[in-house]
Chain A
Amino acid sequence: MCDFSEKLIAWMDGELPDDEAAAVDRHLGGCSECLDRLETYRGVSRALAAYCAASMETTTRRRWPQWLPVLTGAAAAAVLLAGVFQTTVFQPVSKPIVVQRHVAEASPVILDETVQQPVERVHRPHSVTRHKTLGMTRQAHWVSAEPTIQIAIPAEAMFAPGTVPEGTTFIADLRMSADGVWQGLSLQQ
Chain B
Amino acid sequence: MSGDSLRLPLPFAGLASDTCEATTLYRDLRNPLLRYLVCLGLSADEAQDVVQDAFLTLHKHLVSGGSQENIRSWLFRVAHNAARNRQQSYDRRFGDQLDPELESIADEATPEQVVLEKEKQRRLGQAIQLLTECERECLLLRAGGLRYREIGEVLGIATSTVADTVDRAIRKLAEKCNV
Interface residues of A (CB under 8 A from B): 6, 9-10, 13, 15, 40-41, 43-45, 47-60, 62-64, 72-73, 76-77, 79-81, 83-85, 87-89, 97-101, 109-119, 121, 123, 125, 128, 140-142, 157-160
Interface contacts beyond A55-B39, A57-B100, A77-B23: sample of 20 additional A-B pairs, CB < 8 Å, sorted by A = A15-B163, A40-B179, A48-B139, A49-B143, A51-B124, A51-B128, A54-B121, A55-B35, A59-B44, A72-B48, A73-B27, A76-B26, A80-B59, A84-B19, A98-B7, A99-B1, A109-B5, A109-B6, A111-B18, A112-B18
How far apart are A5's CB and chain B's nearest CB, in angstroms?
9
Please name all residues of chain A whose beta carbon is closer than 8 Å to the beta carbon of B13 when the two chains form the complex. Answer: 112, 115
Asked if A159 meets B27 with Cβ closer than 8 Å, knowing A15-B163, A59-B43, A98-B6, the reply is yes
Contact between B1 and A101, CB atoms less than 8 A apart: yes
B12 contacts partner chain A, Cβ-Cβ < 8 Å = yes
CA distance A123 to B8 in the complex (A): 14
Closest chain A residue to B3, Cβ basis? A101
B4 contacts partner chain A, Cβ-Cβ < 8 Å = yes
Chain B at the A interface: mostly helix, strand, loop or mixed?
helix
B99 contacts partner chain A, Cβ-Cβ < 8 Å = yes
Contact between A47 and B143, CB atoms less than 8 A apart: no
Please name all residues of chain A whose beta carbon is closer than 8 Å to the beta carbon of B132 when the two chains form the complex. Answer: none
CA distance A40 to B166 in the complex (A): 15
Contact between A100 and B9, CB atoms less than 8 A apart: no
In the A-B complex, the 8 residue pairs with the closest CB atoms: A54-B100, A98-B4, A63-B44, A43-B179, A55-B98, A56-B35, A55-B100, A115-B18
Contact between A47 and B177, CB atoms less than 8 A apart: yes
16 A-B interface contacts by CB (under 8 A): A47-B179, A48-B139, A49-B143, A50-B121, A52-B140, A54-B102, A55-B35, A63-B43, A81-B19, A83-B59, A100-B3, A100-B6, A111-B6, A111-B10, A118-B20, A125-B1
Chain A at the B interface: mostly helix, strand, loop or mixed?
helix
CA distance A108 to B26 in the complex (A): 20
Please name all residues of chain A whose beta carbon is closer than 8 Å to the beta carbon of B99 when the two chains form the complex. Answer: 58
Please name all residues of chain A whose beta carbon is closer than 8 Å to the beta carbon of B104 when the two chains form the complex. Answer: 50, 53-54, 57
> In this complex, which of A76, A84, A160 has the most chain B Cβ atoms within 10 angstroms of its Cβ?
A84
How far apart are B178's CB and chain A's nearest CB, in angstroms?
9
Contact between A51 and B18, CB atoms less than 8 A apart: no
Contact between B174 and A40, CB atoms less than 8 A apart: yes
